[in-house]
């Protein structure tokens, strides 16, 4: 026994309509593609480590000031060293490096995140990681008769396949590998360009 939801007006609700609404699924916005972490996140991690180190120094100096351990205050030594500085030639390149590092931080903060997956042709939002696309391409290449081994590197616009064959006609092997990889990647919404490099040697 099955039950059927009734749409307003008495018409049966079709599977393409949202459960609990009258909007067609074809009008729904696709989900965002998976993206790599922000480049600035790595910089943030380094800054966090630096702050932890400064906190450790502060705790150590607090213990010294309380008389629990013997030693000199590192923070006071640093402040005294900075306060007693006059101009030196090394300050110019250090200042330039600091400015360049600051500019790099701004660039990393504004750099958009890199997409790391490609979309599949499906009604719902399904994505294939670039690393998985490379594995799929390599497996398709290895399935070609005469191919001993193969590996692949995937980018959003191109997949490069390197195949090692038993010594058959390189042009024929290249065409066969390219065709197999292209067929394997056909379900992608925007299949990348396939580039095949063939080398001979080895046994199947």
Report d(CA 178, CA 183) in Å as an integer. Answer: 9
pLDDT of residue 202: 56
pLDDT of residue 7: 44
Is domain 118-200 given the CATH code 3.40.50.1000 in the classification? Answer: no
User: What confidence tens digit (pLDDT) does each residue in 46-61 have?
Assistant: 999 999 999 999 999 9
Residue (of 150, 153, 154) closest to 141 by Cα position: 150
By CB atoms closer than 10 A (0-12, 13-18, 19+), residue 139 is middle
Instruction: Kindly indicate the confidence band of residue 122, based on its pLDDT and cuts at 50, 70 and 90.
Output: confident
CB 28 within 8 A of CB 19: no
Global confidence as pTM = 0.58
């Amino acid at each position: 026994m099955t039950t059927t939801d009734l749409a307003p007006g008495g018409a049966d609700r079709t599977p393409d309509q949202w459960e609990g609404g009258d909007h067609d699924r074809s009008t729904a916005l696709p989900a965002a593609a998976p993206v790599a972490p922000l480049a600035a996140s790595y910089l943030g991690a380094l800054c966090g480590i630096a702050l932890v180190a400064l906190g450790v120094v502060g705790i150590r100096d607090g213990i010294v000031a309380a008389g629990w351990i013997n030693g000199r205050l590192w923070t006071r030594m640093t402040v005294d060293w900075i306060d007693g500085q006059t101009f030196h030639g090394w300050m110019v390149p250090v200042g330039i490096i600091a400015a360049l590092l600051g500019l790099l931080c701004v660039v990393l903060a504004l750099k958009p995140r890199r997409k790391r997956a490609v979309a599949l042709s499906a009604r719902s939002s399904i994505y294939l990681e670039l690393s998985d696309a490379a594995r799929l391409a390599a497996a398709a290449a290895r399935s070609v008769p005469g191919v001993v081994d193969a590996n692949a590197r995937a980018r959003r616009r191109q997949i490069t396949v390197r195949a090692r064959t038993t010594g058959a006609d390189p042009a024929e092997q290249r065409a066969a590998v390219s065709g197999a990889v292209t067929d394997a990647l056909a379900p992608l919404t925007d299949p990348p360009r396939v580039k095949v490099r063939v080398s001979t040697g080895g046994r199947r």
